[in-house]
Amino acid sequence: MDAKPALRAKALILRKKGLSYNEIRKFVPVSKSSLSIWLKNVRLSPKHRARLYTKQIAILALGAPSQRERRKKQIDEIVTRAKAEIELPLSHDAYRFLGAALYWAEGSKTKNFEITNSDPMLVAFMVKWFSETFNVSPTTFKAHLNIYSQQDENDLKRFWSTLIGVPISNFGKTFVKPANKYFKKNNLYYGTIKVRVPKGTDMRLRIFGWIQGALQDLSPRVEFVQRKWSFLREVDRNPVNLEI
């Protein structure tokens, strides 16, 4: 038996009571397009029109915050599910390559064995990784800060020293960004820190050897494409005059 006539009759009754399409769909499980066809000739009373108009304005007013809250929930759920996919402790190889990849992305490539960053979690991980992977103590590491002029250098040294175990006496001269008319509000609350492992050149080279080993299946294609497009490296180093 076709249930549509009964659903249509119920929808008509609810619409005449002033319910919106979304409200009707809670009781009548059909699409909005079906309701639009069924109810297009129903004229709402001024009182019902006023209620729906006010409701719509309220929805529009709350739209952006509601969407942000909904997206925040989705992000939290994605992160929580992904976090659950990781089993601790990490395997030896997973741990080694996590640190190697982070160094490849954030570390010095051609001089010294050092990493520069402002993220406390990343810096803490890398110091721990340097120490455990190469059997060197953080008490031998050197550090330098890059901070804003309104920040307290001594407090920041104590913060980083407490976090990563590098003695304050091992901190070199701090670079303080001078204030100017384009000075931005401070959003790097702990400044930026550079952490260097002394006599670490061979350690750095081992990291790049690990990376090359992990990516050796990809290397031939990358090298082939680079050779084919080698002319892109032949760039005129003279300054370009952009004045019109």
| pLDDT tens-digit map of 29-41 | 999 889 999 998 9
> What is the residue type of 131?
S
Return the domain boundaries, the chain: 4-81, 92-218
Sheet containing 142-148: which strands, arranged edge to edge?
114-117, 192-196, 142-148, 175-177
How, if at all, do strands 142-148 and 175-177 pair? parallel
pLDDT in tens, 146-170: 999 889 999 999 999 999 999 999 9
Name which residue leads in pLDDT, 137 or 63.
137
Is the overall model pTM greater than 0.85, yes or no? no
The gap from C-alpha 221 to its chain's centroid, in whole angstroms, comes to 30
- Is pLDDT at 18 greater than 50 in this prediction? yes
The helix-helix angle for 120-134 and 153-164 (nearest 10°) equals 50
pLDDT in tens, 67-118: 788 888 899 999 998 999 999 999 999 999 999 999 999 999 988 999 999 9
Task: Assign residue 112 a region (left: φ > 0; alpha: ψ between -120 and 50; beta: otherwise).
Answer: left
- Is pLDDT at 241 greater than 70 in this prediction? no
pLDDT in tens, 174-225: 999 887 666 555 578 899 999 999 999 999 999 999 999 999 999 999 999 9
